Structures are given as C-alpha cells and as structure tokens.
Amino acid sequence: MKKLKPFYLLLFTLILVSCDDSDDVTQIDFNQTITTALDVDITEDSNGQPLSFTADETIDFTTVQEIQDNIDEIQDATIDALSYEVDNFVGAANTTVTSASINFNGTTIQVSNINLEQADNNDTIFSVDDPAALTAIENALQNDTQATVTLSGNIDSAPASFDVIIYLDVIITSSLN
C-alpha cells in the first residue's frame, strides 16, 4: 500500500497540471470551405472563331455563419487549398478555354487550357499550388471581408455555357473570450 501512495500522488498531480493547461487555451482553429460559382454564358455564335469572356463574383466571407459568429475575434486566415472545377457545360464537343486566368482580389492565377466537356464529364478538380498567389490571397482575406473573383479567357467555339466552381479551404484562427 505504501508503494501505491506515491503513484496516486503523482497521478493526482498530473491531473491537476493537465487541468491548469486547459485554462491557457486562448485561441481555436476552425476549417471552412468557401465555395463560389462563376457562370459563363456566351450566346453569340463565334462561327468557329475564338471569343473572349469574363465572369466575376463577389464573395462575402461574413455570409459564412462560423466566420460571422467569430468575426471580431479572428486573428489569422490561412489558405489550406484552392481549387476549381468545370460544371454544367453545354456547347460543341471539344470546346476549349485558352489564355485563361482567375483573378482573386488583384492576385492573378494563370489557368492551363481546358477541354470543357472532358473536364465536366470527368469531374476534374484543378488545384492551385502557387505559394506566392496563395499568400497574397491570404493577406487579402485578413484585410477585407469581401473578395472579387474574376475569370477571364478565350473560348474557341461558341455558343457555350459552363460554370467554374471555386473551392477555397481556409483555416481560421480565432481568439476565445
């Protein structure tokens, strides 16, 4: 029994120290995926000639409930991933988007050529892996609750319509009150 007393005393001390550490938690991280769709609808017949297009959308981060609930306590926003996909394509087979870019609050990301029908049918997700672009977007997120996303490029055949869905996975650090 005498040998068990030091063990119980040590266990009790560890429990007290553990409980004290939980009082030191002053911030939490939560993950949020913010999604927006850019609708491209080109009704003009291009007669086989390339046409340029532009589509834009404003994202208001305060419309995301968890962000809105913590807006005054947010200390940091880190982009975990940025990706996009083509959806709802209607147009001629093998229609391709070329010379395209996505502009996110002044940060431009170049987009490779995309066969719209193939990307839509295969549910292809395109990832943005440019660290400088992701850092610039992070900085914009920390300074503003809104961001304008603009897609522009050329399409080799029209009429055509499609959506580009953008997924922004963000880790938000918020202080606890």
**How confident is the model over 109-140, as pLDDT tens digits?**
999 999 999 999 999 999 999 999 998 888 87
Residue 11 has pLDDT above 90, yes or no: no
pLDDT tens digits along 12-22: 444 444 444 44
Cα separation, 159 vs 100, whole angstroms: 18
Q: Give the integer Cα–Cα distance in Å for 140 and 37.
A: 20
Q: Give pLDDT, residue 92.
A: 94
Tracing tokens 């007393």 back to the chain, one arrives at: 5
pTM of the shown model: 0.78
CA-nearest of 60, 79, 71 to 138 is: 79
- The most distant pair of C-alpha atoms in the chain lies apart, rounded to whole Å, by 94
CATH topology (fold) of 31-175: Immunoglobulin-like (2.60.40)
For residue 13, the model assigns a pLDDT of 41
